[in-house]
Structure 1
Amino acid sequence: MENLTDLADRYGSDKGSAKHRYTELYHMLFHPYRQRKITFLEMGLLIGGPEHGVDKDRKTGDLPSIRMWLEYFPKARIHGLDVSDFSWFEDERFTFHRCDMDSRDEIARAAADIPAPDIVIDDASHASHHQQNAFLEIFPRLKSGGLYVIEDLRWQPDTYEVEGITKTAALLRSYIDERAFTHSDPEVAARFNALRPQISACIVHPVRYQKKRKDQVAVIHKR
């Protein structure tokens, strides 16, 4: 049985050995779920979207990570969320949700159509407020014992990033260091702090396992 990195490389996902190597961490975290009937959600389904200045209505032609997840989790229901259209992809275990993460209301509506997930990966625009909007709406819906992952904490796109906003990496670091979330917007800080009783662990892992690199992947465990 192929491990997750092998599958990523075969399907052309940038999560594999050619670029980020996230799958080395994910295989360790997700392997206990592999043969379970879980609900899995990934946000952000193909590189090269509006975060890189491309129109959200771009033509899309592949779903490398979704193909990877469908094979890795043979009993899972896989849900994908993106601002671009991937409704053309058909698989009996895959459901697509189109959503603009600028809007918490849109995220809430999409999340309401998804059963409580066991695993969530945010690989969407990487804009700080998008990551934070998604977490506030979706983490409370995560199953107890579930995992919420945020990728690419060290990169935010100029097309979306809001000037002066607390970066998600710094927000999570404040929780790790002080067990309380600190944010430039007191209302956002209050909403995150209201979720503290639901968090049992938060780990921020450096890219490629090199400590000299900036924070890259966050994994938050739900109580």
Structure 2
Amino acid sequence: MFQNVKEFIANYPTESPKIRKYENYIDFYESIFLKFKNQDIRVLEIGVQHGGSLELWKALTTPSSQIVGLDILPQTKQHEDERVRIFVGDQGDERFLTNVSNEAGEFDIIIDDGSHIPFHQKATFEKFFFENLRDGGIYVVEDCHTSYWRDYGGGLRKSGSFIEFSKTLVDEVNAWHGQRKKAEEVSNYTKQIRAIRFESSMVIFEKAQMTAPKNIELGVETIDVKTLPVAGSMGGIMNRLRKVEFLRSLVRRSPFLWRLMSKQIRRPD
């Protein structure tokens, strides 16, 4: 077991199975596997091809950890050993994904390095994130640059790409703060995605059972903001108007009104 990813790469024999990862992935995987250091975990990788990344996951986990791979190529069965199991099938086949989901069990880390086709990435995420990722687990989608490639059905801000889909989930994570504030009003995304992280060509999701966040207030107020005096030529009017919620809302939404109000706040001599 190697202590870190860089050590693994520096000592990886040239005749070993091929690995191809973007440079910025290295530090990320360093931090992720550090979270599970010395723990027996289960890792699922969609898309194993030459098997090099399977060697990386084995090197970064304990001898009792289990790794499951999924690939469309039957030849990838050769990568199986006492720690690795391979399912052969099409990532774009919903029935195949369901069979794997039912048979493979739960995982601590799921990595999608499969076809890189945006609608495959979305369908796989919606299956495995909810049904197979444990609470506290990490779901990684690699090579999201294909969301910008026309050959993959992508494009800048192209509807249907995995990047655009992930952007919508940012709103879902924050749904508690919008109009949907009750548990029955929010989606499963809101209830189970703790955090979303965007890296270059990569989107990472952290899973947890979420409830509406509560404010924690400690200490005493040192400034009475409700009666904070407003000076200036319009001070008297502003003091009266700011008691009206509708007008306060207008000020928050208007840069001009905000500047006007801020100029009236009495500054200490």
Q: In percent, how many aligned pairs have the same letter?
A: 24
3-state DSSP of counterpart to 1:67: helix
Corresponding residue of 2:145: 154
Return the index of the structure with the highest Cα Rg: 2
Preserved contact between residue 174 and residue 180 of structure 1 (Cα < 8 Å): no
Which residue in 2 is equivalent to 1:212?
Answer: none
Unaligned runs of 5+ in 2: 176-185, 209-269
Structure 2: distance between partners of 1:123 and 1:92? 22
Deviates more, 1:79-88 or 1:6-15: 6-15
- Structure 2 counterparts to residues 113-152 of structure 1, below 5 A: 113-140=103-130, 141-152=132-143
CA deviation string 1:94-148 (max 9, x = no partner):
0001121112221111121112001000011111110011011100121111000
Deviation at residue 71 of structure 1 after TM alignment: 1.4
* Residue 8 (structure 1) shift: 4.0
SS at match of 1:27: helix
1:82 is matched with which residue?
71
TM-score (norm 2): 0.62
* 156-165 or 84-93, which deviates more: 156-165
* CA–CA distance in structure 2, aligned partners of residues 95 and 159 of structure 1: 32
Is the counterpart of residue 20 in structure 1 residue 26 in structure 2?
A: no
**1:202 shift after superposition:** 0.7
Structure 1 residue 180, shift from structure 2 partner = 7.2
In 2, distance between residues paired with 1:116 and 1:178?
24
| Code of the aligned partner of 2:65 | A
CA distance in 1, matches of 2:143, 2:110: 14
**Match status 1:112 vs 2:106:** no
Q: Structure 1, unaligned stretches of length 5 or more?
A: 47-61, 182-191, 207-215
The residue type equivalent to 1:106 in the other structure is F
**Structure 1 counterpart SS, 2:110:** strand
Partner Cα separation in structure 1 for residue 109 and residue 150 of structure 2: 28
Asked if residue 65 in structure 1 is aligned to residue 53 in structure 2, the reply is yes
Counterpart contact for 2:43–2:108, Cα < 8 Å: yes
What displacement does 1:21 show?
3.2
Alpha-carbon distance in 2 for matches of 1:198, 1:64: 32
CA distance in 2, matches of 1:8, 1:108: 34
- 1:220 matched to 2:205: yes
Distance 1:8 1:197 in 2: 38
**Contact 1:8–1:14 (8 Å) recurs in 2:** no
Runs of 4+ in 1 over 3 A off after TM superposition: 156-165, 177-181
Aligned residue pairs total 186
**2 CA distance for matches of 1:117 and 1:4?**
21
Deviations 1:68-100 (A, max 9, x none): 111111231000001112112232010001121
Q: Separation in 1 of the partners of 2:172 and 2:55?
A: 39
Q: 1:100 to 1:165 in 2, by over 3 A?
A: farther
Residues 40 and 79 in structure 1, CA contact (< 8 A), matched pair in contact too: yes
Question: Per residue, is there more helix in 1 or in 2?
Answer: 2
SS of the residue corresponding to residue 118 of structure 1 reads strand
Say if 1:180 and 1:193, in contact at 8 Å, map to a contact too. no
- 1:150 shift after superposition: 0.5
Task: Give the TM-score taking structure 1 as reference length.
Answer: 0.74
Q: Please give the root-mean-square deviation of Cα atoms over the aligned residues, in Å.
A: 2.5
Please name the residue that 1:213 is paired with. Answer: none
